[in-house]
Chain A
Amino acid sequence: MRAACYLVVVLGSLLSRPTAAQTAPPDCRPAEPMPPELGAWPDRAPLAAAADRAMLGGAVLPVGRAVDASLHRTPDVNFVSLPEQPGGSVSFGGMFTVEVVEAGSYRVAIGSAAWIDVLVDGAAVLSTAHGRGPGCSGIRKMVTFPLPAGRHVLQLSANAERTLPLLVARVP
């Protein structure tokens, strides 16, 4: 009975709050400077994700350029490789081509808790680090991957919103 009362109160409050922290709260004061490699984060241009392999040529995400990724309903996405967390029917996902000129560590920064995979030759690369972005940056999740030079596929899945702030940056 106690739980039922809570349900009413809590869900009522949920309806009026953002479902995912994709941007920093307006009154948030940064406690640390943005690392230079993430400096492009605030200046984002829209970019549509691919929903299948054939669309990847039109969804090229340059390293170091931040975008507001436009995703697709998960049931409409045919991932190149099934993600470990594909997301439910009401979630969003999509794919991008990322061209890596020089082998090294690359950090994928996003404004939500979506699942991130980078595919090299069709196989998901094991990440080497993960964490949150600097306070107040709006970067909710960062995952680092060791990548060889070449054109790779970035897969984003299980996102709550149709759009997603996104940046791939070379780790200095």
Chain B
Amino acid sequence: MVGRLMGLTLLVFGCGGRPPAARAADPLRIAAAPVPADNPTTDSKVELGRRLFYDADLSINGTMSCATCHGQRRAFAHGTRTHPGALGHAGRRNVLSLANVAWSRTLTWADPRVTTLERQATIPITGVEPIEMGLGGAEHVIAERLGADACYRQMFAAAFPEEGGTIALATVAKALAAFQRTMVSVESPWDRYRRGDTTAMTAEARRGAELFAGTAECAGCHAGPFLSDGSFHRLEPDSARRPDRGLAEITGNALDAGRFRTPPLRHVALTGPYFHDGSAPTLVDAIGRHRAVAPAVDRLTSAEMGELVAFLTALTDSAFVTDPRYQMPRRFCGRAR
């Protein structure tokens, strides 16, 4: 079983730049995550991105930061079906975890055009479908607010010397992307088990791992070290009554209606509720709703379902969700905030 798990296909990308500066080492020999050539990772950029991630001045009324939805305790996801925006508009889709997001070929639930974290970061900040942080059309306040802070001016100058320390949406997005690329999580019990620690997973979880990779037919889509093929699938019959058309909203192809990206499963025990609309409250519910693509889930006994859930729970890297390197910084520029 160990061999089978270790034999999962590793995702390998063509790299356009240097690997993340802060956390490049990977004990599972996962290929380095791609980094855009125009946004090489530096410590200054990561430090700035971390501060920005927790700064609610990136929302129109100062009430929402990235961390409002992407909370570390939940592996940078959120525990509600959807999260309303800063102005009270209803959220549209469930908040995705940011763990290992540097390796994601596509980002968001159903937009294959969003392939870089730099692009993705602007969506909640300025997007209007739905309005989340509410700065669409008001991007100028970024320079006004952040530029009024001497420490921010210093941090932008250090992070973007080639751009003259410009404070703008583009540099904010680059810094946020650099910080998110450091969110590497490969210390779950499953990882330790794959490295040879036979005590890392319970017997129940090990049986669940076998089911996951075998008869339960999960690993066809939840593949690779991050347990996602990055592709778009339809789990349930589409219905015109569903307000969210998924991939079809982007492609315009009716055949893509109801197709959503396979979410990575690391930390899945912390990131519920599940599915693009948060409509599956528990892992058991979520597993059961895969019957159209994995009919075997209907044949699972309750004991086997428990084993599958035990395996999924073993994908939680508890060190990651308490790692102080990802927490809200308490000091900037040598001073307490």
Task: List the interface of chain A (C-beta within 8 A of B).
Answer: 3, 6-8, 10-11, 14, 19-21, 74, 82, 84-91, 113-114, 158-160
Contacts and interface: CB of A to CB of B under 8 A. Distances in A.
B138 interface: yes
Interface string B43-70: 0000000000001111101111101100
A160 B63 contact: yes
Given A11-B138, A82-B337, A85-B68, A91 B128 contact: no
B82 to A, nearest CB: 14
Contacts of A11: 136-138
Contacts of B59: 88
Contacts of A7: 128, 136-137
B88 A158 contact: no
Contacts of B58: 88
Nearest to B79: A130
A117 to B, nearest CB: 14
Per DSSP, chain A at the interface is loop
B62 A85 contact: no
A160 B86 contact: yes
Given A14-B87, A90-B57, A6 B128 contact: yes
A159 B128 contact: no
Given A7-B136, A85-B68, A113-B84, A19 B61 contact: yes
Given A7-B136, A19-B87, A160-B86, A90 B61 contact: yes
Given A20-B88, A84-B328, A90-B57, A8 B63 contact: no
A89 B57 CA distance: 6
B87 A88 contact: no
6 contacts: A11-B136, A82-B337, A88-B59, A88-B63, A88-B65, A91-B62
A162 to B, nearest CB: 12
Interface of B: 55-59, 61-65, 67-68, 71, 84, 86-88, 128-129, 131, 134, 136-138, 145, 148, 328, 330, 337
A85 B86 contact: no
Given A6-B128, A7-B136, A88 B88 contact: no
B62 A20 contact: no
B158 to A, nearest CB: 21
B84 to A, nearest CB: 7
Nearest to B87: A19
The 8 lowest CB-CB distance pairs between A and B, nearest first, are A88-B62, A91-B62, A88-B56, A88-B57, A90-B62, A160-B61, A7-B137, A11-B137
B129 A6 contact: yes
A159 B87 CA distance: 11
Nearest to A158: B63
A22 to B, nearest CB: 10
Given A3-B136, A82-B330, 19 more contacts: A7-B136, A11-B137, A14-B134, A20-B61, A82-B337, A84-B67, A84-B71, A85-B56, A86-B56, A87-B56, A88-B57, A88-B58, A88-B63, A113-B88, A114-B63, A158-B68, A160-B61, A160-B62, A160-B63
Contact of B62 (A10, A21, A87, A113): A87
Nearest to A93: B62
Contacts of A14: 87, 131, 134
Contacts of A86: 56
Contacts of A113: 63, 84, 88
Contacts of B88: 19-21, 113
